[in-house]
Amino acid sequence: MKTQKIAALQYFVHPQYGASGHASNDIALIKLNGTLKISDKVQPICLDSNVDSPLNEILAQCGMGSDFKKQNGSVTTFSHYILQDGPIQHINLSICGKNEKEEEYICVGGVNHAALPGDSGGPLMVIQDERWIQIGVASTYSASNYEGESISANVKNTYINVSSYCKWVKEITENVVQC
Protein backbone atom coordinates (compact mmCIF):
# COMPACT_ATOMS: atom_id res chain seq x y z
CA MET A 1 0.00 0.00 0.00
CA LYS A 2 1.25 3.48 -0.86
CA THR A 3 1.78 6.13 1.77
CA GLN A 4 -1.44 7.90 2.67
CA LYS A 5 -1.20 11.68 2.78
CA ILE A 6 -4.25 13.45 4.17
CA ALA A 7 -4.16 17.11 5.08
CA ALA A 8 -5.23 18.35 8.48
CA LEU A 9 -8.57 20.14 8.40
CA GLN A 10 -8.48 21.44 11.97
CA TYR A 11 -6.27 21.33 15.08
CA PHE A 12 -7.61 21.24 18.64
CA VAL A 13 -5.00 22.17 21.26
CA HIS A 14 -6.11 21.67 24.85
CA PRO A 15 -7.32 25.09 26.11
CA GLN A 16 -5.18 24.78 29.27
CA TYR A 17 -1.96 23.79 27.44
CA GLY A 18 1.03 25.11 29.41
CA ALA A 19 -1.17 26.75 32.05
CA SER A 20 0.70 25.29 35.03
CA GLY A 21 4.05 24.45 33.48
CA HIS A 22 5.66 23.53 30.16
CA ALA A 23 4.24 20.01 29.84
CA SER A 24 0.84 20.55 31.45
CA ASN A 25 -2.15 19.59 29.32
CA ASP A 26 0.24 18.76 26.45
CA ILE A 27 -2.37 17.11 24.25
CA ALA A 28 -4.05 17.98 20.96
CA LEU A 29 -6.34 16.39 18.39
CA ILE A 30 -6.18 16.68 14.61
CA LYS A 31 -9.26 16.41 12.40
CA LEU A 32 -8.27 15.03 9.00
CA ASN A 33 -9.59 16.35 5.69
CA GLY A 34 -10.47 12.84 4.52
CA THR A 35 -10.68 9.25 5.66
CA LEU A 36 -7.75 6.91 6.23
CA LYS A 37 -7.92 3.61 4.37
CA ILE A 38 -7.77 0.84 6.98
CA SER A 39 -5.35 -1.93 6.05
CA ASP A 40 -2.96 -4.40 7.67
CA LYS A 41 -0.59 -1.42 8.20
CA VAL A 42 -3.16 1.24 9.19
CA GLN A 43 -5.42 0.40 12.11
CA PRO A 44 -7.41 2.41 14.64
CA ILE A 45 -6.33 2.20 18.26
CA CYS A 46 -8.59 1.95 21.30
CA LEU A 47 -8.86 4.53 24.05
CA ASP A 48 -10.03 3.31 27.43
CA SER A 49 -10.46 5.30 30.63
CA ASN A 50 -10.32 2.14 32.77
CA VAL A 51 -6.86 0.88 31.82
CA ASP A 52 -4.44 0.62 34.70
CA SER A 53 -0.78 0.13 33.86
CA PRO A 54 1.12 -1.02 36.95
CA LEU A 55 4.69 0.10 37.67
CA ASN A 56 7.34 -1.99 35.88
CA GLU A 57 4.90 -3.08 33.16
CA ILE A 58 6.54 -3.13 29.72
CA LEU A 59 4.71 -0.82 27.35
CA ALA A 60 5.18 -0.03 23.65
CA GLN A 61 6.03 3.32 22.11
CA CYS A 62 6.51 4.47 18.55
CA GLY A 63 7.49 7.54 16.58
CA MET A 64 9.49 8.93 13.71
CA GLY A 65 11.68 11.34 15.67
CA SER A 66 15.39 11.87 15.60
CA ASP A 67 17.85 9.20 16.59
CA PHE A 68 21.40 9.79 17.65
CA LYS A 69 24.80 8.19 17.52
CA LYS A 70 27.79 9.31 19.51
CA GLN A 71 31.08 9.17 17.67
CA ASN A 72 34.40 10.61 18.80
CA GLY A 73 32.72 12.71 21.48
CA SER A 74 30.18 14.38 19.17
CA VAL A 75 26.53 13.55 18.70
CA THR A 76 25.07 13.00 15.23
CA THR A 77 21.32 13.02 14.75
CA PHE A 78 19.28 11.68 11.86
CA SER A 79 15.59 11.29 11.16
CA HIS A 80 13.69 8.15 10.21
CA TYR A 81 11.36 7.69 7.29
CA ILE A 82 10.03 4.44 8.73
CA LEU A 83 8.00 4.30 11.92
CA GLN A 84 10.18 3.13 14.81
CA ASP A 85 8.85 1.27 17.84
CA GLY A 86 10.22 -0.22 21.00
CA PRO A 87 9.54 -1.48 24.50
CA ILE A 88 9.69 0.86 27.48
CA GLN A 89 9.22 0.29 31.22
CA HIS A 90 6.56 2.09 33.28
CA ILE A 91 8.47 3.73 36.16
CA ASN A 92 7.63 5.84 39.19
CA LEU A 93 6.47 9.41 38.48
CA SER A 94 9.04 10.81 40.92
CA ILE A 95 11.84 9.62 38.60
CA CYS A 96 10.44 12.02 35.97
CA GLY A 97 10.25 14.81 38.54
CA LYS A 98 6.50 14.51 39.04
CA ASN A 99 4.41 14.18 42.19
CA GLU A 100 2.56 10.86 42.61
CA LYS A 101 -0.73 12.80 42.72
CA GLU A 102 -0.16 14.15 39.19
CA GLU A 103 -2.32 11.49 37.56
CA GLU A 104 -2.32 13.25 34.20
CA TYR A 105 1.23 11.95 33.61
CA ILE A 106 2.84 8.56 32.98
CA CYS A 107 6.59 8.16 33.45
CA VAL A 108 8.59 5.61 31.44
CA GLY A 109 12.28 4.99 30.99
CA GLY A 110 15.25 2.73 30.84
CA VAL A 111 18.73 2.35 29.46
CA ASN A 112 18.83 3.42 25.80
CA HIS A 113 15.04 2.99 25.47
CA ALA A 114 12.88 6.06 25.00
CA ALA A 115 10.93 8.30 22.74
CA LEU A 116 13.42 10.76 21.26
CA PRO A 117 13.25 14.40 20.24
CA GLY A 118 10.72 14.64 17.42
CA ASP A 119 8.54 11.86 18.85
CA SER A 120 6.32 14.27 20.81
CA GLY A 121 2.66 13.47 20.27
CA GLY A 122 3.40 9.80 19.59
CA PRO A 123 1.53 7.01 21.36
CA LEU A 124 2.34 4.98 24.44
CA MET A 125 0.47 1.69 24.16
CA VAL A 126 -0.40 -1.46 26.06
CA ILE A 127 -2.05 -4.72 25.01
CA GLN A 128 -4.97 -5.74 27.20
CA ASP A 129 -7.69 -8.23 26.38
CA GLU A 130 -6.04 -8.88 23.00
CA ARG A 131 -6.36 -5.27 21.82
CA TRP A 132 -3.98 -2.34 21.54
CA ILE A 133 -4.90 0.58 23.77
CA GLN A 134 -3.26 4.00 23.67
CA ILE A 135 -2.66 5.12 27.24
CA GLY A 136 -0.29 8.04 26.67
CA VAL A 137 0.90 10.83 24.39
CA ALA A 138 4.67 11.58 24.31
CA SER A 139 5.43 14.91 25.96
CA THR A 140 8.91 15.38 27.45
CA TYR A 141 12.29 13.66 27.09
CA SER A 142 15.47 13.69 29.15
CA ALA A 143 18.64 11.63 29.11
CA SER A 144 21.89 11.47 31.01
CA ASN A 145 24.96 9.35 30.40
CA TYR A 146 26.18 6.99 33.05
CA GLU A 147 29.48 8.05 34.56
CA GLY A 148 32.30 6.72 32.45
CA GLU A 149 29.93 5.51 29.70
CA SER A 150 29.98 7.00 26.24
CA ILE A 151 27.11 5.10 24.63
CA SER A 152 24.69 4.13 27.42
CA ALA A 153 22.15 6.68 28.59
CA ASN A 154 19.58 6.66 31.37
CA VAL A 155 16.53 7.91 29.49
CA LYS A 156 13.12 8.92 30.79
CA ASN A 157 9.98 10.24 29.14
CA THR A 158 6.86 11.86 30.48
CA TYR A 159 3.68 10.93 28.64
CA ILE A 160 0.31 12.61 29.03
CA ASN A 161 -2.14 10.07 30.50
CA VAL A 162 -4.95 9.78 27.90
CA SER A 163 -7.50 8.61 30.47
CA SER A 164 -7.23 12.00 32.21
CA TYR A 165 -8.49 13.66 29.02
CA CYS A 166 -11.33 11.33 27.95
CA LYS A 167 -14.02 13.92 28.73
CA TRP A 168 -12.19 16.53 26.59
CA VAL A 169 -11.71 14.07 23.69
CA LYS A 170 -15.41 13.14 23.79
CA GLU A 171 -16.41 16.82 23.83
CA ILE A 172 -14.11 17.87 20.96
CA THR A 173 -15.16 14.93 18.75
CA GLU A 174 -18.84 15.45 19.56
CA ASN A 175 -19.10 11.93 21.05
CA VAL A 176 -17.59 10.25 17.97
CA VAL A 177 -14.49 9.19 19.95
CA GLN A 178 -14.97 7.97 23.50
CA CYS A 179 -12.87 6.14 26.02
Report the pLDDT value the prediction gives residue 70, as an integer from 0 to 100: 52
Tell me how far CA of residue 119 lies from CA of 69, 72, 100, 137, 149, in angstroms. 17, 26, 25, 9, 25
pLDDT of residue 115: 76
The CATH architecture one would assign to domain 44-172 is Beta Barrel (2.40)
Q: Is 35 exposed, middle or buried (0-12, 13-18, 19+ CB in 10 A)?
A: exposed
Nearest-angstrom CA–CA distance, 151 and 73: 10
Q: Identify the pLDDT of residue 174.
A: 94
Q: Using one digit for the tens of pLDDT, what is the confidence trace for 35-94?
A: 999 998 888 999 988 888 889 999 999 877 766 555 555 655 556 666 777 888 999 888
**pTM for this entry:** 0.83
